[in-house]
Structure 1
Amino acid sequence: SLKENYTTYNQRLKNKDNQRQKKWEARKAEFLFKQEEKNKKIGKLFLSYKNCETEGITFFIDKIILKLELPVDIKVDWEVTTDTENKIVLIDFRLPNKEFIPKTKSVKYYVTKKEFSETFITEKEIDRIYDLFIIQLSLIVQNTIYTADSENAIDSIVFNGWVNTIEKATGHPKTFCIISLQTKKDELKKINLALVEPKACFKQLKGIAANKLSDLIPVAPILEINKEDKRFVESEGISKKLESENIAAMHWEKFEHLIRELFEKEFSSNGGEVKITQTSHDGGVDAIAFDPDPLKGGKIVIQAKRYTNVVSVSAVRDLYGTVMNEGANKGILVTTSNYGPDAYNFAKDKPLTLLNGSNLLHLMEKHGYSCRIDINEAKKILKNN
């Protein structure tokens, strides 16, 4: 009957509705579960940031850079490295080449000819735009991070800008740094970036770059960290698995011989020589290197510090004073530990090179040494001696 058909039809609709309701509830439960898991993860990362830990600071900076409103639709990439002890952040930024800049200046349509006519931006203007964009990017990235850093987890930022290009002489791909800028939070926050001339501001902050960034001339980064070197550890764990010697705990006389041999090998390839001039029981070594290279050589003052604490800016000032007194071309300060932001800030516009523990291990590996650095282990050993 009609009534039975209606009842059956109605029941079928109810069954379908119940099935849809169950599917919706299942999807809702799945969504709420994923939402809760994501919120837990974000909560842990935020707590990590508040505690000034590496994972949290890296997450925080990634989110800040992702939200930057760049003037054009370009692809950028970056990598963040943190020194939580000294509140220093290193940002290695992959920069675009100038090809991303639109070359068309204007387009006109001529009705009588039924054709378009284009005018183009000059190469000189493209170079100017590129230089300005890169310098502004280095400033705005740092300023935005400082402004958002409500927990004061960051005191200093180093921005290294890297480009991928094809070397004209060989045709092979090459990656190198073309801009390096270090700032301190209290220093940059005093500057009104909305009204500055970017190049003048960059120069005042002692940024490093060629006169024309568009020429893609390599420069030495103010700070560079070998992120893949697992032999440099701040905590216990890895050290037990390594059989090589911990040079941060090495006797100062043995450390002196090691440094002398290391730099003799480094400079001997060019016919240079190294002479130890002074040693101290605190693990310090002074040496003079003579590099015969007519362009980048000359007299070089080398100071090495077998330290387990952060090297203060006073040690960098002392090195600079020695370089001036000796009439040397350059000074190199090497340590088994690390440097604070003031040390890098002082050295960045002077003929000084700061090599931290990671840099030292890289140099030693280059010349066949098998060593490691474990600061915590060294502190315990030196305390007991």
Structure 2
Amino acid sequence: MPKDKEFQYVKTRDVVELARARPITELRQVYQELTSQVALMVLHTVFRSDPADLVHTVVVNGVVDTINPATGQPERTHKITLRATREHFERVNLRQVKPIACVREHFAALISGHPDELQAVTPIIDFGMADPRIVDSIDVISDLDRRPNLIDLTAEEFEHFVQNLFTRMRFETHKLKASGDGGVDVIAYDHDPVRGAKYVIQAKKYTHKVQPSAVRELHGIVQHEGANKGILVTTHGFTSGCHEWANGKPLQLYDGTHLLALCRQFGIEARIVLPPK
């Protein structure tokens, strides 16, 4: 959007001079108007291109590829994000709406307040979460015998079990490959527009207590993955140093007792019987 609004021609000097710059409030209004129109156009195109009504919900993320002035590195920032169901969209008369009011009030969109400065918003769903480390999920829970002993699972089966559990807890989950996973067994997403977050999960099928070094490692992984929280789930317990080190950090530690409580809460019958010492 040009920052210059008006020019004037000075005949005596045969030059064109800037007469008035465009007010910053007008710049932001135009950017927001354009961004809102593009988002509505995307919704219209997708829903109208699906006469069989196969698409129920569409999420639109409007992004800008730019250069971070602080690092000089390329980056992609979100300027608008919204979610719309087909039913919700069909209530809109696009010929009559005011685009900004429509996306904000009807679709509860988040739209950058300072698009001229490339101010970002947090996307409802980050489509960058597609991760080449993800493998197909295996439904371990459905195949388990009544009240199975989780210690009898293999390490990989236990990782899938933990993924299945968090799926039942209404997270979107992805199991990562055993090799090259960067220390992450499962990635979970909460898409709630208020508390939405990304979690990295480690699953340790242990017959001994987890040591603080594992908790410190998880904290580093949380920072490396850009996650909101790290969760460590084990079939045994944690040494006192683990809880002391995790205190005040975005980490959550689930020991065997806590794990079984979650299983009961979400209708999974399981037990943990440790081998005799």
Aligned to 2:18, what secondary structure does the other structure show?
strand
Residue number in structure 1 paired with 2:51: 150
How far off its partner does 1:248 sit? Answer: 3.7
Pick the aligned partner of 1:125 from 15, 22, 26. 26
- After TM superposition, the score normalised by the length of structure 1 is 0.38
How far off its partner does 1:121 sit? Answer: 1.8
How far off its partner does 1:151 sit? Answer: 3.0
Residue number in structure 2 paired with 1:335: 173
Pick the aligned partner of 2:119 from 214, 217, 234. 217
How far off its partner does 1:347 sit? Answer: 5.1
- 8 Å Cα contact 1:109/1:117 also seen in 2: yes
Pick the aligned partner of 2:14 from 114, 128, 143. 114
In the comparison of the two structures, how many residue pairs are matched?
181
- 8 Å Cα contact 2:36/2:103 also seen in 1: yes
Would you say 1:159 and 2:60 are equivalent positions? yes
Q: Deviation per CA, 1:271-297: give whole Å up to 9, x if none.
A: xxxxxxxxxxxx53xxxxxxxxxxxxx
Q: Deviation per CA, 1:29-75: give whole Å up to 9, x if none.
A: xxxxxxxxxxxxxxxxxxxxxxxxxxxxxxxxxxxxxxxxxxxxxxx
Name the CA shift for 1:130/1:259 in 2 (closer, same or farther; >3 Å): same
Aligned to 1:107, what secondary structure does the other structure show?
strand
**What is the CA RMSD across the aligned residues, in angstroms?**
4.2
Pick the aligned partner of 1:305 from 167, 174, 181. 167
Q: Deviation per CA, 1:128-160: give whole Å up to 9, x if none.
A: 211221122111221233223323232221111
Stretches of structure 1 lacking an aligned partner (at least 5 in a row): 1-100, 234-245, 263-282, 285-303, 307-314, 317-332, 338-343, 356-361, 368-385
Bigger Cα Rg: 1
Name the CA shift for 1:176/1:186 in 2 (closer, same or farther; >3 Å): same
- After TM superposition, the score normalised by the length of structure 2 is 0.51
- 8 Å Cα contact 1:206/1:348 also seen in 2: no
- 8 Å Cα contact 2:134/2:174 also seen in 1: no
Would you say 1:182 and 2:83 are equivalent positions? yes
Q: Aligned residues: percent identity?
A: 22
The ranges of structure 1 where at least 4 consecutive aligned residues each deviate by more than 6 angstroms after the TM superposition are 259-262
How far off its partner does 1:161 sit? Answer: 1.6
How far off its partner does 1:109 sit? Answer: 2.6
- 8 Å Cα contact 1:305/1:336 also seen in 2: no
Distance in 1 (alpha carbons) for counterparts of 2:47 and 2:96: 18
Distance in 1 (alpha carbons) for counterparts of 2:174 and 2:110: 26
Q: Deviation per CA, 1:147-178: give whole Å up to 9, x if none.
A: 23323232221111222223233333222323
Residue number in structure 1 paired with 2:37: 136
Q: Deviation per CA, 1:297-347: give whole Å up to 9, x if none.
A: xxxxxxx126xxxxxxxx65xxxxxxxxxxxxxxxx34359xxxxxx9x95
Distance in 2 (alpha carbons) for counterparts of 1:215 and 1:208: 16
Distance in 2 (alpha carbons) for counterparts of 1:209 and 1:109: 38
Stretches of structure 2 lacking an aligned partner (at least 5 in a row): 176-188, 200-220, 231-277
Pick the aligned partner of 1:202 from 100, 103, 127. 103
Name the CA shift for 1:210/1:115 in 2 (closer, same or farther; >3 Å): closer
Residue number in structure 2 paired with 1:351: 195
How far off its partner does 1:217 sit? Answer: 2.9
Distance in 2 (alpha carbons) for counterparts of 1:128 and 1:108: 25
Q: Deviation per CA, 1:336-376: give whole Å up to 9, x if none.
A: 59xxxxxx9x9543323477xxxxxx98x969xxxxxxxxx
Which residue identity lines up with residue 212 of structure 1 in the other structure? H
Residue number in structure 2 paired with 1:232: 135
